[in-house]
Chain A
């Protein structure tokens, strides 16, 4: 990237520019608008509602009456969710399974593929293009496509396995003990390519002299990878970790098109959404669910954002 060259050039001052005092009042006003309007939009539509979720989670409200019908409920919503709301624990469990699966399977496979494709073999581009094609598709369309693949009698997989007879059908998406895993395979189909691209870019930026030095020292290519290349990929590893976590907490579209997130496919995101688009709109309840999801997300987001901005402070 050109940016890295520019960064290295001695003419680029490293410190923060100090030009503010030379600005005219008009320039200050323009800058104020350039920051103010976007900041207002972002804070007003992202952080304000997120904060609103936290507040509303301690209340009872049907969302239909005016704001004066909001009642304080303390921790009631949370207590009910934990003790008296059957889909909650399965949903949380599915989210955790999704997260762990995403962190282990597509990431490892994506890294493995990137390492193979980085070996400068013929046709590398062609293989890459095939593997990352699913990245372009929306998770909703991924859901549709895999419904065709998993269809019990007409689907690709059962037909290949020869399990289309009435007695030995495998109902990949209908069987609650199976469907989460089937969906995870479908979601990974899209995620692997994404991870592969990130690692390929990372591998290209690893200084070749590092590998040469390792080779001269007599390291096997496996040793060189684990002791030299992989540590150099640390920034990419962090990004991969974050996108995998975020994507698994955001998972919604694919289960929603398959069966609206029921019967083994419950997720926290679905429960929150059902509290709005569903028949019974219970604002406080839905908000409490959202706060649980928010808390899990922030436990990953905060350390990540701190790490990327530490150097800039």
Chain B
């Protein structure tokens, strides 16, 4: 990397101090070095995934004979078909949907309720409640795991809701803990956003005699579409990616969502690296769809919580 041999010696500091708006022309070698560095970094970040894709596309017979680190004789999607059929992955996607969709709706609605009441009205304890929500969201799940597990075993549910007759080992339990936990973050973000909506906007509704709920539903909530879209994207990814709750609070392996089920399926159905690679990528597809289709919302969500902090 002789190109970077400049007085200060490192790439990042060699660019002249020009205002960031203007595209820089000067110091070409430093620019090229920066590009080489970034391209190398980007490629290293993609390498584990590319390796997984490559492994998944090769038939087991090929890798068994020539090793995994070899040029392909044949590439195909058989591993995907095998992983899909043998482990009945469709079934686990269904479980995931059963958890994720209700969780998303409940989290967004309940958080927007609290955020609305906390940010638009002044009452005793509203800040205290917001603090509790925000701090609760930051706790490690294990801090509450043991009593929660016992609680879930004590609270009865009718057979129509849970074949275990308690909250433990039921979708209700998984949804409930996701909602309770994720509400903290969403309430924090939404209340910060709602605070910035001018009161003039609800003033007119109040003059018209609109109730508290109508002001929320017809004025505030529609204005919150940007943060709601960002939060929905983010929460989908988080809930989809959850591993722990369903592992501990869902005893029946067959009822677990796909992320938690993967651990059990490995070794039973996914007996070689090619199948593991294919199954891992299949399980990652929904989040990759979010990555490609909703990148802006996702990043917006991540930085929304931070911008105010």
Going nearest first, the 7 A-B pairs with the smallest beta carbon separation are A52-B147, A138-B241, A49-B144, A159-B69, A45-B180, A130-B42, A201-B303
Q: For B132, what are the chain A residues with a Cβ–Cβ distance below 8 Å?
A: 42-43, 47
CA distance A46 to B245 in the complex (A): 13
Show 30 residue pairs from A and B whose CB-CB distance is below 8 angstroms, ordered by the A residue: A20-B123, A37-B110, A38-B110, A41-B110, A46-B180, A47-B136, A115-B12, A121-B34, A130-B42, A130-B45, A131-B45, A136-B284, A136-B287, A144-B262, A144-B276, A145-B49, A154-B68, A198-B306, A201-B302, A208-B19, A219-B17, A221-B17, A222-B13, A238-B309, A252-B142, A256-B263, A273-B145, A290-B144, A297-B138, A309-B134
Choose from A23, A131, A145 the contact partner of B41 (Cβ within 8 Å): A131
A224 to B90, CA, bound (A): 54
State which of B74-82, B97-105, B114-122, B156-164 sits at the interface with chain A: B114-122
Residues of A within 8 A of B181 (CB): 45-46
Contact of A212 with B19 in the complex, beta carbons under 8 Å: yes
Assess the B18–A215 pair: CB atoms within 8 A: yes
Hey, which chain B residues are within 8 Å of A164, CB to CB?
A: 69
Number of A-B residue pairs, CB cutoff 8 Å, is: 367
**For A178, what are the chain B residues with a Cβ–Cβ distance below 8 Å?**
none
Contact A141 B262 (CB under 8 A): yes
Residues in A whose Cβ lies below 8 Å from that of B135: 301-302, 305
Tell me the bound Cα distance from A46 to B144 in angstroms: 7
A297 and B139 within 8 A (CB): yes
A148 adjacent to chain B (CB < 8 Å): yes
Of the candidate stretches A81-89, A166-174, A189-197, the one touching chain B is: A189-197
Contacts of B277 in A (CB 8 A): 145, 148
Residues of A within 8 Å of B134, CB to CB, are 305, 308-309
Whether B283 and A141, one on each chain, are in contact in the complex, defined by CB atoms closer than 8 angstroms, is yes
Q: Does A246 contact B (CB under 8 A)?
A: yes
| CB neighbors of B among A57-90 (8 A) | 63
Question: A277-288 vs B: 1/0 string, CB under 8 Å?
Answer: 100000100110
> How far apart sit A151 and B272, CA to CA, in the bound complex (Å)?
12
The yes or no answer to B269 lying at the interface (CB within 8 A) is no
Q: Knowing A3-B196, A134-B45, A156-B51 are in contact, say whether A50-B139 is a contact too (CB < 8 A).
A: yes
For the complex, is A239 an interface residue (Cβ under 8 Å from B)?
Answer: yes
Q: Which residues of B approach A to under 8 Å, CB–CB?
A: 8, 11-13, 15-21, 23-24, 31, 34-35, 37-39, 41-43, 45-49, 51-52, 55, 63, 67-69, 110-111, 113-114, 116-118, 120-123, 127, 129-136, 138-151, 176-177, 179-181, 183-184, 187, 192-193, 196-200, 206, 211-213, 216, 226, 237, 240-244, 247-248, 259-260, 262-263, 266, 273, 276-277, 279-280, 283-284, 287-288, 290-291, 295, 298-299, 302-309
Within A81-135, which residues are at the interface with B (CB < 8 Å)? 112-113, 115-123, 126-127, 129-134
B183, A41: Cβ atoms closer than 8 Å: yes
The answer for the CA separation of A155 and B55 in the assembled complex, in Å, is 10
Q: Which residue of A lies closest to B123 (CB)?
A: A20
Q: Which chain A residue lies CB-closest to B277?
A: A148
Q: How far is the CA of A253 from the CA of B46 in the complex (A)?
A: 21
CB-CB under 8 A from B150, the residues of chain A are 52, 63, 283
CB of A56 closer than 8 Å to a CB of B: yes
Chain A residue contacts of B240, Cβ below 8 A: 138
Nearest chain A CB to B81's CB is how many angstroms away?
19
- Which of B130, B140, B279 meets A293, CB within 8 Å? B140
Quick one: which of A192-210 are within 8 Å of B by CB?
192-194, 197-198, 201-202, 205, 208
Contact B302 A194 (CB under 8 A): yes
A133 touches B136 (CB 8 A): no
Residue of B nearest to A229 (CB): B20
CA distance A2 to B190 in the complex (A): 14
Question: Which residues of chain A from 246 to 290 have a CB within 8 Å of any chain B CB?
Answer: 246, 249-250, 252-253, 256-257, 268-269, 272-273, 275-277, 283, 286-287, 290
Give, as a whole number of angstroms, the nearest-CB distance from B220 to chain A.
12
Residue in A27, A123, A127, A290 whose CB lies within 8 Å of B212: A27
Q: B147 contacts A287, CB within 8 Å?
A: yes
A12 touches B48 (CB 8 A): no
Q: A139-B243, A252-B244 given; name 19 further pairs at CB < 8 Å.
A: A11-B198, A12-B197, A20-B123, A34-B216, A42-B132, A113-B38, A116-B38, A119-B15, A131-B45, A134-B48, A141-B284, A149-B48, A149-B51, A151-B273, A156-B69, A221-B15, A242-B138, A249-B140, A273-B248
For A30, what are the chain B residues with a Cβ–Cβ distance below 8 Å? 211-213
Cα–Cα, bound, A7→B198 (Å): 8
A187 CB to nearest B CB, Å: 12
> Which B residues are in CB contact (< 8 Å) with A250?
140-142
Q: Does A236 contact B (CB under 8 A)?
A: yes
B49: chain A residues within 8 A (beta carbon): 133-134, 145
Chain B residue with the shortest CB-CB distance to A151: B273
Instruction: Find chain A residues with CB under 8 A from B295 CB.
Output: 129
**B38 near A49: Cβ-Cβ < 8 Å:** no
A127 touches B143 (CB 8 A): no
* B139 in contact with A53 (CB, 8 Å): no
Considering only CB atoms, which chain B residue lies closest to A147 in the complex?
A: B276
A147 and B170 CA atoms in complex are apart in Å by 31
Instruction: Give every chain A residue within 8 A of B13 (Cβ-Cβ).
Output: 220-222
